[in-house]
A and B are shown apart, each in its own frame.
Chain A
Amino acid sequence: MTGFIIRRLLVTVITVLGAMILLFVILQLIPGDFASVVLGPRATPDIIESFRIKMGLDQPIYVQLFNFIFNAIQGDLGQDVLSHLPVRILILQVLPHTIVLALTSIVVAALLGIPLGAYAAAFKGSWVDRVLGVISISAITIPSFLAGLLALLIFSVYLQWFPAMGAGQSGNIADQIYHLVLPASALALGWVGYLARIMRASMLDEMTEDYVRTARSKGLKESVVVFKHALRGALIPVIAVIGVGFGNLLGGAVLIEIIFHRPGLGYLIYTAIRTRNYPIVQGGLIIAVILYSLANLLADLSYGSIDPRVRSE
């Protein structure tokens, strides 16, 4: 197991470093001079020159790349062009909102999806199973940003039950939860269906196992066999999927944050792109890559600790 952990950690580190290099290359694609693009047409040559020196743009490209990676490893993600604040601070201000949104969504999806899937498996072939099957596939096919738009239209514009914008007053937990309901539900919807399907398949698989047959032959009640014995075994692959899901939701949160004008990593990067504030784009993407890779790493490790076959791959 230790070998597996070290191997996976190494791959994650290499991947993140590779992603940083790729990101550096992508930002070199910006047409024209980086400093002129960032500072806009009104910047004088003197301002542009001092900006170039400050940002290290006067250095050879390989030195820039080395500095970029070296600084990022030390937690220095550069400076916001407009406010001159460190990008790290700006990201730390909004990151909790994104993590809370993604975590809430995955918890909601698990709390709804797992029981639905288990229930469908327990009544396999019945009309309950069919209806749940149609519901889960419908949930999967609704893109989260469309779910967000429709939720906004129905619950904010028409019914006025929930607020349309923002993340709530800071310090006021109740208000923040109130602001979280619509975005988290919209983001969770697809995953409810997905987890329900994975859970159902996993349960059906588990119900053919010997230990379930033994439990049945002992004369245990069917509900005990299904919901106590089979359920536990069936949860293993679902937990691994949830880990990957958290990473995906971090990415999926971008559109939801934009629709609900919620502060967050995605919203920060998007607004930075629109204002050509590339240091924020760069820093934000690095953090997004690290979070995404870490979520995948944790999912792999948890799966590896449960299923020995994964470790040998």
Chain B
Amino acid sequence: MRRIIKKLLAEPLAIAGVVIIIFILLVAIFAPFIATHDPQSTFPANRLQPPSRDNWMGTDNLGRDTYSRVVFGTRIALLVSLLAISFATLLGLTFGIISGFAGGKIDSAFLIFFDIIKSFPALLLAITIIAITGPSLPMLIIIIGITRFPAYSRLVRAQTLRVKGHDYILAAKALGVSVPRIMIKHLLPNVLGPVFIQAAMDIPIVITFEAGLSFLGLGVPPPTPSWGSILRTGYSFLRIAPYMVIFGGAVLMLTTLGFTLMGETLRDFLDPKLRKVV
């Protein structure tokens, strides 16, 4: 961990990334204090207004303050990415360790299962399932988690294969330690490092994915503010009120930039071959 922090602080672009992430985190935490309006209060008389002293980023078609919605949207973006990635990690760890540890036919079956999930274009799979089940926050988290988990499973499986031949695992087996205990006590701690790095690199992908689904009206249900839904409304009124797309898009871009810059540096720990790419 200390090595990772040291590396992050040594790269100027990574520092920029960390600064952006801290800024976004602060905005999410202190959203009620930073926002100037209630993000869900409608003022029909004040609809589709350009930026002004009262509404810094203008208003949407219901007269809601875009700035306040962008601020509160930060919470949804971070919450969904955190929970969806946690879910993907949990699935990935479970399937990956079992697959790698069991080997043989079980491993092959799991690999095919991962390939099947991966063979669907993720967005199409997500919109199909959400359209069937109806959009909701838990559904969004489950679907994103399912579309992302094969990457974690493969990573965990590879790590498990690497670790399972080590002496201490063989010793534990010889001593008669139960398989679940070996998996949890001995394998899990040794495969977690790369998984955390993968999770950090996944954040911008999941934030973009959630924004894409919300843009289609299949993300977090209204009136909860999310960046994707701001872009959706902005798209409908692009000619007369482009501010929603401009500001909503800028914040989405800034956030993905921050996490990508950090992720790029962390990637070196996973794949030293790509070192110094940027």
A-side interface residues toward B, CB under 8 Å? Answer: 11, 14-16, 18-19, 22, 26-27, 29-31, 133-134, 136-138, 140-143, 145-146, 149-150, 152-153, 157, 197, 200-201, 204-205, 250-252, 254-255, 258-259, 266, 269-270, 273-274, 281, 284-285, 288-289, 292-293, 296
Contact = CB atoms under 8 A, between A and B. Distances in A.
A266 B124 contact: yes
B277 A197 contact: yes
B219 to A, nearest CB: 13
5 contacts: A22-B120, A138-B257, A146-B253, A285-B124, A289-B119
A92 to B, nearest CB: 18
B252 interface: yes
A137 B264 contact: yes
B260 interface: yes
Interface string B94-133: 0000000000000000001101110111111101110111
Q: Chain A contact residues: over half helix, strand or loop, or mixed?
A: helix
Contact of B119 (A27, A152, A201, A293): A293
B116 A22 contact: yes
Interface in B112-166: 112-113, 115-117, 119-125, 127-129, 131-133
Interface of B: 13, 112-113, 115-117, 119-125, 127-129, 131-133, 204, 208, 211-212, 215-216, 231, 234-235, 238-239, 242, 245-246, 249, 252-253, 256-257, 260-261, 264, 273-274, 276-278
A26 B124 CA distance: 13
B265 to A, nearest CB: 11
Contacts, number: 131
A133 B121 contact: no
> Top 8 nearest A-B pairs by Cβ distance?
A251-B121, A18-B116, A273-B131, A143-B208, A141-B257, A141-B256, A133-B278, A15-B115
B116 A143 contact: no
Contacts of A270: 127, 216
A137 B17 CA distance: 12
A149 B238 contact: yes
A150 to B, nearest CB: 6
B83 to A, nearest CB: 20
Given A142-B256, A273-B127, A288-B120, 4 more contacts: A11-B112, A153-B245, A157-B238, A252-B123
Nearest to B258: A141
A293 B112 CA distance: 13
Nearest to A237: B273
B133 A149 contact: no
A269 B215 contact: no
Contact of B239 (A143, A157, A259, A274): A157
A211 B115 CA distance: 38
B82 to A, nearest CB: 19
Contacts of B212: 143, 145, 255
Nearest to B227: A146
Which residue, A18, A134, A145, A150, has most C-beta atoms of chain B within 10 A?
A145
B132 A292 contact: no
A197 B275 CA distance: 11
Contact of A292 (B121, B211, B253, B273): B121
